[in-house]
């Protein structure tokens, strides 16, 4: 295997299959995986050749972007090839006047942001690991982020995809036109497919002119219920907020010390509302937030002060007891307070510390159970709490994954959320595109 694949990608680009950098992602419970080899092709044609060789030799393929995933999707399950896309870093075309760019799968999310900004344009999806995640991984997971509330998740910005499908063929679906309804929407099918239908080698993206300056506001409320009522008022206020984020009381207790505005006693909920459409809109949103708030909503002149603190939340929560399980359930907005309170109840039931924070405007929680990783009982309790959490999301009419995908971490749960005929459609699609089940086997599908 090594010799054949080295002939395609060069010896330097074949690594041992136990190289821990390539066999784990950021998911705490997806233990390090194992592959036979790690292969790093340098072009889309090489990806196609590697896939063709693997497909004819029945070798499973685990695609890998930046390894920032939180579902274990890039973790190989004992054999086969990890196919890393990190060397596909070309900007194939960039036409700022047409508001479009085509980049290869290995370009980082941060680079796409920077390239757009340099010409006064904007690529809105902003998943938290901007410097680590690659655009191919973002498309493969249909990643979100705070500003996806106003602008939509990654898939809303994809106008075309180039991918290698079984048994090793390079296809381009749609491209740089802004509209194309000629065929089935194969770009949308590959988006969010978590590497189970094909390997994305390049993506065409839509950009927009940079919106106005970010003018964020923050307000504190006594409880999750009053905070969630404020969210509904903000959504009814008229101007569309650029982002609506929240922290519950337990997260505030852990991370509130560093909050730029200070957290008074009795605070049970923090609401952050970003506005990028001018001061008049910010005033309207501020009024909607003010009702029932503990104090006048706080305006930030330097948005970076607030966003930097927000970005550090995950790390603060992780280090609180040493480790955490954090799931990305999403529920209808009018069930958000129930899901926030339910997270704490589930933690209490299992005797495990819990908190939640997340993208409130999308009803998307990062519900978290924290524990000391050396305490085996606590680890078991956290896992059981995680299962109850997914069940709660389904019960509330929501989803087991609003952002990170199913991967390995939630495998087996799709058929709890979707009906049997709907899961059968998934299986039929998988069978049509990957008849030998070699594309990221053991992920996403039950
Ligand atoms: C600190 C932090 C904050 C985060 N915040 C967010 C957030 O706000 N929103 C959000 O949605 N996610 C967030 N994430 C999760 C993660 O960053 C996203 O899921 C991201 O899109 C993964 O991209 P990646 O390149 O790292 O993919 P990887 O982790 O390498 O892979 C993810 C999945 O995609 C598949 N894949 C990767 N590349 C390709 C390809 N080219 N073709 C086919 N399949 C491929 C893999 O097989 C795997 O199943 C966060 C993660 C961290 C560590």
Looking at residue 314, its pLDDT comes to 86
How far away, in angstroms, is 313 Cα from ligand 1 center? Answer: 18
67 Cβ closer than 6 Å to some ligand 1 atom: yes
* Dist. CA 354–CA 346, nearest whole Å: 8
Q: Give percent above pLDDT 70 in the chain.
A: 99
Asked whether residue 31 carries a pLDDT value surpassing 70, the answer given is no
Looking at residue 147, its pLDDT comes to 95
Atom of ligand 1 minimally distant from the CA of 134? 25
Asked whether residue 7 carries a pLDDT value surpassing 70, the answer given is yes
Task: Give nearest CA residue, ligand 1 atom 15.
Answer: 69
Looking at residue 446, its pLDDT comes to 80
pLDDT mean over 185-214: 96
60 Cβ closer than 6 Å to some ligand 1 atom: no
**Phi-psi sector, 390: left (phi>0), alpha (psi -120 to 50), beta:** alpha
441 Cβ closer than 6 Å to some ligand 1 atom: no
DSSP 349-389: HHT-EEEEEEEGGGTEEEEEEEE-TT-HHHHHHHHHHHHHH
Q: For 355-399, what is each residue's pLDDT tens digit? A: 999 999 999 999 999 999 899 999 999 999 999 999 999 999 999
407 Cβ closer than 6 Å to some ligand 1 atom: yes
Looking at residue 178, its pLDDT comes to 80
Which residue's structure tokens are 């994809």? Answer: 158
Looking at residue 78, its pLDDT comes to 92
How far away, in angstroms, is 143 Cα from ligand 1 center? Answer: 7
- Indicate the pLDDT class of residue 28, thresholds 50, 70 and 90: confident
80 Cβ closer than 6 Å to some ligand 1 atom: no
274 Cβ closer than 6 Å to some ligand 1 atom: no
How far away, in angstroms, is 317 Cα from ligand 1 center? Answer: 20
Looking at residue 176, its pLDDT comes to 74
Atom of ligand 1 minimally distant from the CA of 190? 43
Atom of ligand 1 minimally distant from the CA of 139? 21
64 Cβ closer than 6 Å to some ligand 1 atom: yes
Looking at residue 177, its pLDDT comes to 81
Task: Give nearest CA residue, ligand 1 atom 4.
Answer: 128
Looking at residue 265, its pLDDT comes to 81
Whole-number average pLDDT of the chain: 95
Task: Give nearest CA residue, ligand 1 atom 9.
Answer: 127
Looking at residue 95, its pLDDT comes to 96
pLDDT mean over 144-170: 97
Give the Å distances, CA to CA, from 186 to 165, 193, 249, 294, 353: 12, 11, 43, 49, 43
Task: Give nearest CA residue, ligand 1 atom 3.
Answer: 128
User: For the chain, what percentages of helix, strand and coil (3-state, to nearest 5) are there?
Assistant: 40, 20, 40
DSSP 236-272: HSSSPPSEEEEEEHHHHHHHGGG-TT---TT--EEEE
pLDDT mean over 132-153: 97
pLDDT mean over 70-78: 95
Q: For 109-119, what is each residue's pLDDT tens digit? A: 999 999 999 99
Q: Can you list the pairs that 176-180 forms with residues at least 24 positions away whose Cβ atoms lie under 8 Å?
A: 176/93, 176/95, 176/98, 176/100, 176/102, 176/204, 178/206
Q: For 305-319, what is each residue's pLDDT tens digit? A: 898 898 888 889 989
Atom of ligand 1 minimally distant from the CA of 26? 53
- Indicate the pLDDT class of residue 134, thresholds 50, 70 and 90: very high
Asked whether residue 30 carries a pLDDT value surpassing 70, the answer given is no
Three-class DSSP category at 283: helix
Looking at residue 258, its pLDDT comes to 86
Pocket residue to mutate for ligand 1, from 65, 170, 198, 328, most atoms within 8 A of Cβ: 65
Looking at residue 32, its pLDDT comes to 78
pLDDT mean over 49-54: 98
* Dist. CA 95–CA 205, nearest whole Å: 11
Q: Domains in the chain, ordered, with CATH?
A: 2-84 (3.30.43.10), 91-209 (3.30.465.10), 217-395 (3.40.462.10)
Tell me if the pTM is above 0.85: yes
Task: Give nearest CA residue, ligand 1 atom 7.
Answer: 127
Looking at residue 13, its pLDDT comes to 98
Q: Give percent above pLDDT 90 in the chain.
A: 87
Asked whether residue 233 carries a pLDDT value surpassing 90, the answer given is yes
Asked whether residue 221 carries a pLDDT value surpassing 90, the answer given is yes
Looking at residue 180, its pLDDT comes to 86
Asked whether residue 257 carries a pLDDT value surpassing 90, the answer given is no
pLDDT mean over 425-433: 97
The pairing of strands 81-84 and 37-39 is parallel
């Amino acid at each position: 295997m090594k010799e054949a694949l080295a002939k395609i990608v060069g010896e330097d680009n074949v690594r041992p299959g136990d190289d821990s950098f390539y066999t784990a992602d950021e998911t705490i419970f997806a233990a390090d995986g194992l592959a036979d080899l790690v292969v790093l092709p340098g072009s889309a044609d090489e990806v196609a050749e590697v896939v063709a060789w693997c497909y004819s030799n029945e070798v499973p393929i685990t695609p890998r972007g930046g390894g920032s995933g939180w579902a274990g999707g890039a973790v190989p399950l004992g054999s086969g090839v990890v196919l890393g896309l990190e060397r596909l870093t070309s900007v194939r075309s960039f036409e700022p006047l047409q508001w479009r760019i085509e980049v290869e799968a290995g370009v980082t999310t941060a680079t796409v942001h920077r390239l757009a900004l340099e010409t006064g344009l904007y690529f809105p999806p902003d998943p938290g690991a901007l410097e680590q995640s690659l655009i191919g991984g973002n498309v493969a997971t249909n990643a979100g982020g705070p500003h996806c509330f106003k602008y939509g998740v990654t898939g809303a910005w994809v106008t075309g995809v180039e991918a290698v499908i079984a048994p090793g063929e390079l296809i381009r679906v749609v491209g740089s036109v802004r509209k194309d309804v000629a065929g089935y929407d194969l770009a949308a099918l590959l988006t969010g497919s978590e590497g189970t239908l094909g390997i994305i080698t390049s993506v065409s993206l839509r950009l927009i002119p940079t919106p106005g300056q970010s003018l964020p506001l923050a307000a504190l409320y006594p409880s999750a219920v009053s905070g969630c009522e404020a969210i509904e008022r903000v959504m009814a206020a008229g101007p569309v907020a650029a982002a609506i984020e929240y922290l519950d009381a337990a997260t505030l207790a852990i991370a509130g010390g560093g909050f730029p505005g200070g957290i008074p006693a009795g605070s049970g909920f923090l609401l952050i509302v970003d506005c990028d459409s001018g001061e008049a809109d910010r005033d309207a949103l501020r009024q909607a937030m003010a009702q029932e708030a503990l104090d006048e909503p706080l305006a930030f002149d330097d948005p970076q002060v607030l966003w930097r603190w927000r970005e550090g939340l995950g790390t603060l929560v992780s280090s609180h007891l040493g480790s955490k399980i954090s799931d990305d359930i999403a529920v209808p907005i009018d069930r958000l307070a129930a899901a926030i309170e339910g997270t704490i109840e589930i933690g209490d039931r299992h005797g495990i510390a819990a908190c939640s924070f997340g993208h409130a405007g999308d009803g998307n929680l990062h519900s978290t159970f924290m524990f000391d990783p050396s305490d085996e009982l606590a680890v078991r309790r956290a896992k059981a709490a995680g299962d109850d959490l997914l069940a709660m999301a389904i019960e509330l009419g929501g989803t087991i994954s609003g952002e990170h995908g199913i991967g390995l971490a939630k495998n087996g749960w799709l058929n709890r959320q979707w009906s049997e005929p709907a899961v059968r459609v998934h299986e039929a699609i998988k069978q049509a595109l990957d008849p030998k089940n070699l594309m990221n086997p053991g992920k996403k599908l039950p």
